[in-house]
Every structure is written in structure tokens, then in C-alpha cells.
Amino acid sequence: MELLPTTKGNNSDSGTSRRYRRSSSVPLILTRLVRFPQMDFEFALWQMAYLLIAPRRVYRNIYYHKQTKNQWARDDPAFLVLLASLLCLSAVAWGLVIGLGMIGILRAMLFMVIVDFVLVGSIVATFTWFVTNKFLCQNNIMTNDQRVEWAYAFDIHCNSFFPLFLILYIVQFFFLPLLIKTNWICLITSNFIYLVSMTWYCYGTFLGFNVLPFLVHTELLLYPIISFAIGFILLSVFGINLSENVIGFYFGWS
């Protein structure tokens, strides 16, 4: 079986086919959202586990996926379905504890999935997709095989969002009564978990783009961590508790 195109035969047809598959990668994965029997949830759970203990191994597997499927982005929506389901369960837990009511819980579910995960993720993916293609491609080569796919940039967001979800949506949920207490230890701990979650997200983004062999200076994607650290220091010095303020703004509760 030939995995790479040859110079013989219908070159224009094969090129058209490749362009079509690349441009339709996002609609393809969306069409598979309703095909639950075809989703590999076991592999998605494996990815989630290794994103916590050995994230580089996940991206090595994605490199092999490129060799067999000729695209960097995943074509199985199982990971997205699991993550969206976890967000919904988290919204239910938060809603029951805070007392949002049925309508409030549904609103929280939609907000977490549509805004936090999809909308913000799409903005971040578009930004990183543009920056990497514009400034980090080696020798500014923009051939079909050396261009970051938008769908892959969104995959990186999904992978990086999972550890952030565990910290801010799960860990913070269980320790919120302690985090919002008015003392310096709770204040620093509260701000520190936000620092850790954003740093982990940034590091995961770096790993995702670093695996692409045609990108250079991907370490620049780690620079936002410096601003996160500065923000942590300033917020702590001025006595601003992120858990109290973010949850209060998010749920209209304090």
C-alpha cells in the first residue's frame, strides 16, 4: 500500500482529493459525533490518562497517526465526547452544590461546553494556528505537507484543556470552602492552582506544536508562563483571591 502520492497517474485528481479531505476534516469529525459504536472510547481514555502522566507519549502516537492517516488531527470524536460529558457532569455538581436550580444547571452546562470549551478553544486554536503558520514554519515553507491544520490546533487545545479541567473544575470544586477563606495561605493556594492549570495548558500547547517537524522555535509558546507567574505574584500581593472572584462571577455567587 502506498501512503505517499506518486508523480504518475492522475496527479490533479489525487491533489484534489487530498485538498478536499484536508478542508473537510472538521466536518468529517462532526458527522461522526452521532456514530457512537464507531468511537474508540478506550483509546480516548488512554489519551486522557497519559496526558496526565506522560503527555509526550500521546503526541508521539499522533505522529504515527500522521503516517497512516496523512493528517495530524484526530478523526475520532470520542475524546471530544468524553470531555464534553465530563463538563456536563461538572456543571451538574456545581449547580447542585450552589443551588442553581434546573434552569441554572442547564445554563451552566451550555456555558461550560459551548463557551469555555468550544468558543474559547476555537479562539485559542485560531490564534496558535495563525501564529505557527505565519511565523514558526521553517524557512516560511507553506506547502500542503508543512502547514499546521486548524483541526490539529483545536486538538491541541482539547488535549491541553483536560488537565486544566481536572484542576479548575474538579479539584477546585472539592476544596472551594477552604480556598475562599480569608487568610494568606488559602489566598496563595487558590491563586497557585490557577497558575498551575494555566502553566499546564501552555506546556501542553507547546508539546503539541513541538512534535511537528516543520516548525521551529516552538519554545516561544512557553513564554506566556512568565506573564502567568507575574500575575500570580501581583494578585497574591494585592490580596485578590481568584477562586472567590472567578466562581462569584461565573455563577453569580460569592
Low-confidence ranges of the chain (pLDDT < 70): 1-37, 139-145, 253-254
| DSSP-assigned states of every residue in 54-93 | -HHHHHHHHHHHHHHHS-SS---THHHHHHHHHHHHHHHH
Q: What is the pLDDT at residue 76?
A: 86
3-state SS, one letter per residue, for 95-121: HHHHCCHHHHHHHHHHHHHHHHHHHHH
Burial class (CB in 10 A: 0-12, 13-18, 19+), 19: exposed
Q: What is the pLDDT at residue 33?
A: 61
**Cα–Cα–Cα angle for 41, 157, 19, nearest 5°?**
85
| pLDDT tens-digit map of 120-143 | 999 999 999 999 999 998 865 555
Supply 215's cell numbers: 516548525
Q: What is the pLDDT at residue 63?
A: 72
Helix 184-210 vs helix 150-165: angle between axes, to the nearest 10 degrees? Answer: 150
Look up cell 516543520; give the residue.
Answer: 214
What is the number of helices (H) and of strands (E) in the chain?
Answer: 12, 0
Name 26's bridge partners.
Answer: none
How many CB atoms neighbour CB 73 within 10 A?
22
Q: What is the pLDDT at residue 67?
A: 72
Q: What is the pLDDT at residue 70?
A: 72
pTM: 0.84
